């Protein structure tokens, strides 16, 4: 083809070359933008996923399904979790974020203590029993801290 002669759709060879070059640049730019968008979305998901999981309360703990080796200890574990969730859901909120957080954490930590005690009572693995003992000690300290904080603010609302 000779440059300057008309070709497809009335365009000259030079015009078609220029259109092709521009099209390739647009495609390359679009590919880069898509890759960047995907990276940003993946990063946002990585940051948001833990927060979303936590904000669902404990929805990820499906207590309606039995454990694989369900026995008395598994039933006790489920019962302690169910009781904790029941207490926390029934707790009246004050409207004060700090007070509500402290109250809910006491109930949550008590649930952890109950589960850890079930592990101590029925567990076989020394490492898991040791972890359960440490959990009880730590959770009791935190409960005491929350209760002391709440005691100083007995009528704290918004």
The pLDDT value given to residue 11? 60
Q: Which residue has the tokens 């700090």?
A: 98
Amino acid 143: pLDDT: 93
| pLDDT for position 51 | 52
Predicted pLDDT at 4: 53
Spans of all domains in the chain: 8-54, 58-151
Indicate the DSSP class of residue 95: S
Q: Specify the pLDDT at position 24.
A: 72
If phi > 0 it is left, if psi is from -120 to 50 it is alpha, else beta; for residue 72 that is alpha
Q: How high is the pLDDT of residue 103?
A: 87
What values do phi and psi take at 5, rounded to 5? Answer: -85, 150
Q: What is the reported pLDDT for 139? A: 92
So what's the pLDDT on residue 92?
Answer: 80
Per-residue pLDDT, 130: 95
Looking at residue 151, what is its pLDDT?
A: 92
pLDDT score at 72? 59
What is the torsional sign of CA 7, 8, 10, 14?
negative
Averaged pLDDT in 10-residue chunks for the chain of 158 residues = 55 68 71 65 60 49 46 69 75 86 88 90 93 94 93 71
């Amino acid at each position: 083809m000779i440059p300057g002669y008309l070709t497809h759709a009335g365009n000259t060879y030079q015009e078609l070359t220029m259109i092709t070059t521009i099209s390739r640049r647009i495609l390359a730019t679009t590919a880069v933008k898509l890759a960047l968008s995907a990276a940003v979305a993946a990063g946002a998901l990585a940051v948001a996923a833990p927060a979303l999981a936590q904000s669902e309360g404990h929805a990820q703990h499906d207590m309606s399904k039995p454990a694989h080796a369900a026995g008395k200890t598994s039933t006790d574990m489920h019962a302690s979790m169910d009781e904790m969730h029941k207490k926390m859901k029934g707790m009246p909120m004050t409207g004060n974020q700090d007070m509500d957080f402290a109250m809910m954490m006491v109930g949550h930590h008590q649930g952890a203590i109950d589960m850890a005690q079930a592990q101590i009572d029925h567990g076989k693995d020394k490492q898991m029993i040791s972890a359960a003992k440490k959990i009880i000690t730590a959770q009791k300290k935190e409960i005491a801290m929350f209760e002391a904080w709440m005691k100083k603010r007995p009528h704290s609302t918004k």
